[in-house]
């Protein structure tokens, strides 16, 4: 089990003046927000005064999660990875969703590279009220030429605000690129057993996070990190190697699992850093066709994300294979302590007026966002969420949580009746069986049974409701 | 150059020139995209150390200037001077990574599906699930004794199915034995589930006896055991399970599913009397799992005849609840909670409830790929949470998940990782 911090553990290292500069009412409230990652240490300005130097240092120690947080990039799109405090999400929650980086290289045509960069930067899909996005660009040095690589890096830096990862084992190549890009705080990939000393110097000189790569050799990985920690470096991302063949994939999962358990449950500080995986590696030994390789890249990504990868480097950008990765990331990184439901009651969707249809549904967050989205597409609507305890409509009809009585009661107490000039209500197709009873409970009202899938709402409004409903 | 306006980096560039005491730049304006400073190597070698030092300063200055201006390097016109001997690289700290092995108080029961003639049945093939004594795929602790199993769905009466799936089965929809064989031979499934949905009182309400005859008939023509799926009506299923259990006595099939709203004790008796297994289905509630399994065991169902299904939310539709319930169940079982020491079943088919899996939608890409991948993902993440048995619908999804299970549960890794040039991913043509 993770060691949970209590606000008091944090509070004792704060100034304790309750000055309110951080926006919280007092230091205790700020301490609680710090633990929840809702505030940052930097938000406490007084703490950075010389007299609190000792407190600040102690605070940072106390707050340091067993998997250190590492920030890549600068500005709005900077991404912080790591920060994990538990192996299993049900023990608390997983902080810092896995960052998804996409590769370009210095030998592909410039136009193609920049097009991919722009696509990754602009990618956005909205799902249950959240915008799902991609996080960064990994630039690979395929040419081996410092000049070519630096030129490509310069072009990418010019084109995007996304965090970067610079990939080369050659310190000379790396320095040429860092000269261009170091102010963007890219992730340097990678220090290995052969180049670690020079890479360490570069990471120190240019103040950038450093990936440490020791494929298949966790003792070496640990040695490299331990050595560089002694030299004062502390921003690492660990790469145990992503082996994806039929006879090696299991070992990849094994290494990731060992590293994360050692970091959290054995408190091994030398491996207490974010882990990176490279699903893009499937392209080194492609499957029989492109689609199959892309599918493999997708499931390797989800496999590693589930087994603790904090950063993934991917190659393909097809929406159909990114969608499962983005949705699983959204799902697995939700806070298991927060029930996924919305407040029961009346919601207005779009510009409502007296001729706006009334929809009834459950209060599971999933239901709410899906139905809301589809009502929006149909134009507008009053949406009444009945308290189904966060359960889907189908299950709550079966479990007597979505009954005619409850719907009638919710409709009456919402006060929507006085806001419209019609007496019709649309219930979900999956709740069809309550329609008769509901009409009995609502004299003068007509109950419409809507589509079984909320995606049918726009069609239903256009073809049925709008044609049939007359206004008073 | 007006002193006040120069950026910090350029200022330090000038400082460096200053330290070198050999060069001075005046009124410099750099507009070019390229910036080259070359110093002939022979000159460097011939000159005294002070000037070499100056060269080093100059190189550093050029770097700073390029950094300030964002100018990439260009190839030097001549070879750069020979690098000074590299400083001695310190020794690496010697560290050994110890696999973080834990010990567990409990282990998961192994359930055998199917019985051979020697065991009182007529099956030529039997399948074992479960039996773990550490969390899933913690190879550093133990390799799992049985790999996860994939079962494809076969229906006695066709329910509405997504077109992408139906197309695979068109030729066998009327011949259930051919359907089973297609699942096994062409789609490589380990098992099939015979869904007796025609028994549903709300559909055809076929009598239980007829359903039992149907199962027996199919069974007589195939080698493997089957999972018998009811209609989901708790009263009718109990009767159906009783009749099927009788008609297939000793075959050690799996009756799916017993739920909390059924007469659980009676179900346990009629099923265990004929030596069959059961899937206990709870509704995403770990306490209900516990209660149901307890009731079954109390009514005489042996622990190694129970598989538990905590309900599967598809990807994007509550999958994280399923994932965490399964993970908690498995860990609780290993910690010693007896009611959780049974294999876990996952209905990956529920992925198809998600519109992302089946709905034609251009902005999500072709659904022929999206659908199976949705089912694969739903199965895969639950496999990592501890699921042992997968109910699946799409042949491609089933084949893929099975091959992932084979790969992850491999008893032995034949290839040394050192032989694989993983590190080349950064320079390979992908």
Residues contacting residue B250 through CB under 8 Å, at least 6 positions apart: B115, B119, B120, B121, B274, B275
- State the average pLDDT over residues B334-358: 94
Indicate the CATH number of A70-332 among 3.30.70.1140, 1.10.510.10, 3.20.20.20, 3.20.20.150.
Answer: 3.20.20.20
| pLDDT for B68 beyond 80 | no
Using a CB–CB cutoff of 8 Å, tell me whether A433 touches chain B: no
- Residue B429, both tokens: 């043509």
Mean pLDDT, chain B, integer: 88
| A273 within 8 A of A217, measured Cβ to Cβ | no
Please report, for residues A71, A211, A247, A310, the alpha-carbon distance to residue A61 in angstroms, rounded to integers and kept in the order given.
17, 22, 41, 21
* Per-residue confidence (pLDDT) for residue A346, from 0 to 100: 95
Q: List pLDDT tens digits, range B213-236.
A: 999 999 999 999 999 999 988 999
CA A276 – CA A71 distance, rounded (Å): 14
pLDDT tens for A328-361 read 999 999 998 876 788 899 999 989 999 999 999 9
Distance CA B42, CA A360 (A): 85
pLDDT confidence tier of residue B318, bands split at 50, 70 and 90: confident
pLDDT digits (tens, 9 = 90+) for B27-42: 655 555 555 555 444 4
Nearest to A357 by CA among A295, A411, A406: A411
Task: Judge: B417–A243 Cβ closer than 8 Å, yes or no.
Answer: yes
The interface pTM score, or ipTM, of the predicted complex is 0.85
**Partner residue facing B89 (CB), from A182, A197, A306:** A197
**pLDDT class for B390, splitting at 50, 70, 90?**
very high
Which stretches of chain A drop beneath a pLDDT of 50? Answer: none
Q: How far apart are CA B407 and CA B413, in angstroms?
A: 9
Whether the CB-CB separation of B243 and B271 falls below 8 Å is answered with: no
Q: Rounded to the nearest 5 degrees, what angle is found at the Cα of A135, between the Cα atoms of A186 and A206?
A: 5
What per-residue confidence (pLDDT) applies to B354? 85
Nearest to B422 among A89, A241, A336 (CB): A241
| Cβ within 8 Å, pair A248-B70 | no
CB A144 within 8 A of CB A127: no
Tokens of B413: 């890794």
pLDDT score for B56: 77
Helix, strand, or coil (residue B128): strand
List domains and CATH numbers for chain B: 3-69 (no CATH), 110-408 (3.20.20.20)
Q: How far is A54 from chain B (nearest CA, A)?
A: 30
What is the per-residue pLDDT for B215? 98
d(CA B271, CA B250): 10
Mean pLDDT along residues B120-141? 98
Domain positions in chain A are 7-63, 70-332, 345-468
If you measure CA to CA, which chain A residue comes closest to B371?
A320
DSSP codes joined into one string, A340-352: SB--SEEEEESS-
Give the CATH fold of the A345-468 domain: Rossmann fold (3.40.50)
What does B255-286 look like in DSSP terms, one character per residue? EEEEETTS-HHHHHHHHHTTT-EEEEE--S-H
Percentage of residues in chain B having pLDDT higher than 70: 84
CATH-assigned architecture of domain A7-63 = Orthogonal Bundle (1.10)
Distance between CA atoms of B373 and A171, rounded to whole angstroms? 40
Rounded distance between C-alpha atoms, residue A259 and residue A277, angstroms: 13
C-alpha distance from residue B175 to each of A159, B182, B204 (Å): 60, 10, 19
Q: Which residues of B touch A87 (CB under 8 A)?
A: none
B403: which chain A residues are within 8 Å (Cβ-Cβ)? 246
* Chain A stretch 214-233, residues whose beta carbon is closer than 8 A to a beta carbon of chain B: 215-219, 221-224, 226-227, 230
- Answer for the pair A281, A242: CB distance below 8 angstroms, yes or no: yes
| DSSP letters spanning B139-155 | TTT---SS--EEEEEEE
Given a cut of 90, whether residue B295 has pLDDT beyond it is yes
Contact predicate B362/A287, CB 8 Å: no
Kindly report the pTM of this predicted structure.
Answer: 0.85
Output B243 or B62, whichever has higher pLDDT: B243
Beta bridge partners of A100: A312
Q: In this complex, do A147 and B95 lie within 8 Å of one another by their Cβ atoms? A: no
Closest-CA residue in chain B for A213? B423
> For residue B401, what are the contacts with CB-CB under 8 A and spacing of at least 6?
B150, B348, B375, B376, B379, B380, B383, B390, B392
Across B166-276, the runs of DSSP E, i.e. the strands, are: 191-195, 227-229, 254-259
The pLDDT of residue B130: 98
**What per-residue confidence (pLDDT) applies to B47?**
57
- CB–CB of A180 and B66 under 8 A? yes
Closest CB from B320, B327, B427 relative to A331: B320
Kindly report the nearest CA distance between residue B288 and chain A, in angstroms: 14
Q: Answer whether B278's CB lies under 8 Å from B296's CB.
A: yes
Among the partner-chain residues A249, A295, A336, the one whose CB lies closest to the CB of B400 is A295
Residue B45, judged by CB atoms within 10 A of its CB (0-12, 13-18, 19+), counts as exposed
The pLDDT of residue B303 is above 80? yes
Q: Which residues of A269-304 are buried (b: 16+ CB within 10 A; e: fewer)?
A: ebbbbbbbbbbbbbbbeeeeeebebbbbbbbbbbbb
- Of these ranges, A244-248, A310-314, B154-158, B354-358, the one predicted with the greatest mean pLDDT is A310-314
């Amino acid at each position: 089990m993770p060691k949970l911090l209590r606000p008091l553990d944090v509070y004792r290292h704060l100034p304790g003046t309750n000055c309110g500069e951080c926006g919280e009412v007092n230091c205790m409230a700020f301490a609680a927000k710090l633990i929840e990652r809702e505030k940052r240490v930097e938000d406490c300005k007084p703490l950075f005064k010389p007299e609190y130097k000792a407190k600040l240092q102690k605070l940072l120690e106390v707050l340091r999660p067993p998997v250190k947080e590492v920030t890549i990039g600068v500005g709005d799109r900077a991404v912080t990875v790591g920060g994990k405090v538990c192996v299993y999400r049900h023990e608390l929650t997983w902080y810092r969703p896995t960052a998804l980086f996409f590769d370009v290289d210095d030998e592909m045509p410039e136009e193609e590279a920049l097009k991919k960069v722009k696509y990754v930067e602009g990618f956005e899909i909205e799902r249950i009220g959240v915008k799902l996005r991609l996080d960064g660009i990994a630039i690979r040095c395929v040419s081996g030429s410092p000049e070519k690589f630096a030129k490509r890096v310069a072009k990418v830096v010019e084109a995007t605000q996304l965090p970067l990862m610079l990939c080369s084992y050659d310190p000379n190549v790396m320095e040429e690129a860092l000269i261009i890009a170091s102010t963007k705080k890219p992730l340097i990939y990678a220090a290995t057993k052969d180049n670690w000393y020079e890479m360490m110097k570069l990471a120190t000189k240019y103040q950038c996070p450093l990936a440490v790569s020791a494929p298949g050799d966790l003792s070496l990985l640990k040695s490299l990190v331990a050595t560089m920690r002694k030299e004062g470096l502390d921003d690492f991302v660990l790469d145990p190697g992503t082996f994806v063949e039929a006879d090696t994939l299991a070992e990849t999962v094994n290494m990731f699992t060992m590293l994360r358990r050692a970091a959290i449950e054995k408190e091994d500080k030398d491996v207490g850093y974010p882990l990176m995986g490279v699903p893009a590696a499937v392209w080194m030994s492609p499957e029989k066709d492109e689609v199959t390789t892309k599918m493999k890249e997708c499931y390797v990504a989800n496999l590693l994300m589930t087994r603790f990868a904090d950063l993934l480097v991917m190659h393909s950008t097809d929406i159909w294979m990114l969608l499962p990765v983005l949705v699983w990331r959204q799902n697995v990184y939700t806070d298991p302590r927060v029930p996924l439901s919305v407040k029961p009651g009346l919601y207005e969707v779009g510009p409502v007026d007296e001729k706006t249809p009334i929809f009834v549904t459950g209060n599971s967050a999933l239901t709410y966002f899906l139905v809301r989205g589809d009502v929006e597409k149909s134009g507008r609507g009053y949406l009444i969420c009945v308290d189904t305890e966060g359960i889907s409509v189908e299950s709550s009809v079966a479990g007597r949580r979505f009954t005619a009585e409850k719907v009638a009661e919710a409709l009456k107490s919402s006060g929507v009746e006085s806001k419209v000039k019609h007496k019709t209500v649309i219930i979900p197709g999956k709740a069809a069986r309550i329609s008769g009873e509901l009409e009995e409970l609502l004299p003068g009202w007509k109950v419409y049974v809507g589509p079984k899938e909320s995606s049918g709402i726009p069609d239903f409004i256009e073809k049925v409701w709008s044609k049939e409903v007359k206004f008073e | 150059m007006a002193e006040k306006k120069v950026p910090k980096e350029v200022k330090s560039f000038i400082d460096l020139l200053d330290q070198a005491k050999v060069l001075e730049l005046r009124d410099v304006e750099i507009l070019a995209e390229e910036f080259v400073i070359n110093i002939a190597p022979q000159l460097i070698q011939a000159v005294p150390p002070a000037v070499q030092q100056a060269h080093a300063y100059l190189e550093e200055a050029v770097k700073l200037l390029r950094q300030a201006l964002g100018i990439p390097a260009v190839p030097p016109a001549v070879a750069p001077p020979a690098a000074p001997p590299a400083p001695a690289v310190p020794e690496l700290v010697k560290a050994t990574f110890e696999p973080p092995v834990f010990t567990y108080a409990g282990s998961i029961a192994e359930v055998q599906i199917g019985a051979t003639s020697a065991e009182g049945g007529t099956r030529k093939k039997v399948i074992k699930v479960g039996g773990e004594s550490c969390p899933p795929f913690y190879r550093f602790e133990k390799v799992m004794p049985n790999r996860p199993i994939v079962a494809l769905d076969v229906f006695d009466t066709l329910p509405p199915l997504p077109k992408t799936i139906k197309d695979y089965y068109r030729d066998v929809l009327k011949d259930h034995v051919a359907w089973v064989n297609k699942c096994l031979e062409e789609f490589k499934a380990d098992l099939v589930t015979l869904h007796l949905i025609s028994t549903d009182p709300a559909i055809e309400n076929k009598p239980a006896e007829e359903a039992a005859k149907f199962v027996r008939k199919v069974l007589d023509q195939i080698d493997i055991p089957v999972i018998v799926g009811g209609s989901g009506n708790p009263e009718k299923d109990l009767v159906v399970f009783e009749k099927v259990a009788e008609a297939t006595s000793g075959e050690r099939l799996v009756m799916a599913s017993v739920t909390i709203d059924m007469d659980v004790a009676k179900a346990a008796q009629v099923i265990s009397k004929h030596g069959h297994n059961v899937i206990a289905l709870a509704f995403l509630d770990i306490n209900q799992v516990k209660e149901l399994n307890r009731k079954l065991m109390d009514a005489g169902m042996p622990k190694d005849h129970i598989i538990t299904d905590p309900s599967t939310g598809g990807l994007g539709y509550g999958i994280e609840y399923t994932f965490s319930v399964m993970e908690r169940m498995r860990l609780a079982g290993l910690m010693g909670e007896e009611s959780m020491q049974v294999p876990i079943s996952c209905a990956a088919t529920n992925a198809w409830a998600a519109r992302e899996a089946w709905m034609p939608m251009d902005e999500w890409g072709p659904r022929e790929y999206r659908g199976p991948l949705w089912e694969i993902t739903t199965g895969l993440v639950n496999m990592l949470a501890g699921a042992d048995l997968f109910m699946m619908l799409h042949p491609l999804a089933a084949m893929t998940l099975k091959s992932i299970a084979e790969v992850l549960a491999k008893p032995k890794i034949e290839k040394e990782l050192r032989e694989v040039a993983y590190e080349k991913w950064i320079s390979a043509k992908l």
